Structure 1
Amino acid sequence: MTIISRLKMTLGLTLIASTALIGNSYAQTQTIIVAGGCFWCVESDFEAVEGVSEAVSGYIGGHTKNPTYKQVSSKNTGHYEAVKITFDDEVVSLETLSDYFWKTIDPTDANGQFCDKGGPYKTAMFYQDAEQQAVFEASLAKVKANKPFSEDIVTPILAATKFYPAEDYHQDYYTKNPKRYSYYRFSCGRDSKIKKLWGSVESKKHK
């Protein structure tokens, strides 16, 4: 074998190995998009889960391009307040996060969440591919079969559309403004309602 042939073979093996590493790394990181009322609270709930590296507040599902918070809160754009969650699926699975989602919301309310009513505050799960759709639907079926309350679950499972990150001041609001956030969460009755519906959720923490 000539020196040039050996170099070509070495280069080819290096490229194959690099591609494999990139593929494995990509496969370990996934995103999930959910709407659960106030995105500050959803962000807080999911960033407390081991394996979640980031939760970004934003808007999804509407008909206005590049919507602002003012536009969305007017309830005329059709957007949900939503959160895009990045996680390592070797630490926490898509199934686990899907099951956890239900325990952080009131899935019986078709008009919003807790003290926030209207389109932007409705709940939903947004699948980004066929695998996510199957996981979400299986999670929903499991919850319907085992829910500790009699009311129907009205949270839909929808195909994801373009996700628009919210303004910077909304990101990590619960850490930037802890007193205001805690007061809002308490006065809105989020945790008391969740406890009434689901009981204690051991994995749930609030920073």
Structure 2
Amino acid sequence: MDSKEQLATFAGGCFWCMVKPFDELPGIKSVISGYTGGTVENPTYQQVCSDTTGHYEAVQITFDPETFPYEKLLELFWQQIDPTDTGGQFYDRGQSYQTAIFYHDEVQKRLAEESKHALEKSGQFNKPIVTPILPAKAFYRAEEYHQHYYKKNPAHYERYHIGSGRAGFIQQHWGDKK
């Protein structure tokens, strides 16, 4: 990682749907699907899906903050999730599919808290914003077949993105504001 690059880690439900919105934007160096927040070292997808490891499906983004500031990443993150759902995301249920922002330093913590507060005050949602802001923990890269799934399996990805309810939710709540 270049000295001016930083990490951002977001859990937004199924990590397949969290890569594409961030991938290939100016200043984004990489978007990796993986697992974080749990207690098992090097967990497998099957272990994480069992909801026994404490891990979230997440993406870890390496970015250049001069080109793509953390505040912009936060804005884009909020537009990909249902921040009012404590039980998972869309039809993916369970702890591993819950949302969270994992901060890597005190500046990210403050900016994440400010963005959450601004979203709460915006009236964008009629229920409380429940996405927690947590300290970053070890991040484990997911199996290779999960990396950039939207590129490797575009037809299945699109069916999932639409069929899960995510695409409709995003359109309903953000529409042309994105």
TM-score normalized by the length of structure 1: 0.82
> Does residue 7 of structure 2 align to residue 26 of structure 1?
no
Q: What residue ranges of structure 2 are gaps of 5+ in the alignment?
A: none
Are the equivalent residues in 2 in contact too, given 1:123–1:155 (CA < 8 A)?
Answer: yes
| SS of equivalent residue, structure 2 residue 129 | coil
> Does residue 170 of structure 2 align to residue 194 of structure 1?
yes
Q: What residue ranges of structure 1 are gaps of 5+ in the alignment?
A: 1-24, 203-207
Which residue in 2 is equivalent to 1:38?
Answer: 14
- CA shift for structure 1 position 48: 4.7
Q: 2 CA distance for matches of 1:115 and 1:72?
A: 17
Worse-matched range after superposition: 139-148 or 191-200: 191-200
Are the equivalent residues in 2 in contact too, given 1:37–1:81 (CA < 8 A)?
Answer: yes
Q: 1 CA distance for matches of 2:33 and 2:76?
A: 18
Which residue in 1 is equivalent to 2:148?
Answer: 172
**Equivalent in 24, 37, 55 of residue 61 of structure 1:** 37
Are the equivalent residues in 2 in contact too, given 1:75–1:118 (CA < 8 A)?
Answer: yes
- CA shift for structure 1 position 128: 0.9
Worse-matched range after superposition: 86-95 or 108-117: 86-95
Which residue in 2 is equivalent to 1:205?
Answer: none
> 1:75 corresponds to which letter in structure 2?
D
> 2:10 corresponds to which letter in structure 1?
V
Which residue in 2 is equivalent to 1:163?
Answer: 139
Q: 2 CA distance for matches of 1:105 and 1:152?
A: 14
Aligned ranges 1:1-207 → 2 under 5 Å: 26-27=3-4, 29-202=5-178
Larger-gyration structure (1/2): 1
- CA shift for structure 1 position 189: 1.2
Count, aligned residues: 178
More helix by share: 1
Are the equivalent residues in 1 in contact too, given 2:21–2:76 (CA < 8 A)?
Answer: no
User: Which deviations, in whole Å up to 9, do the C-alpha atoms of 1:85-111 show, x marking residues without a partner?
Assistant: 011112110111112211111001000
TM-score normalized by the length of structure 2: 0.95
> 2:13 corresponds to which letter in structure 1?
G
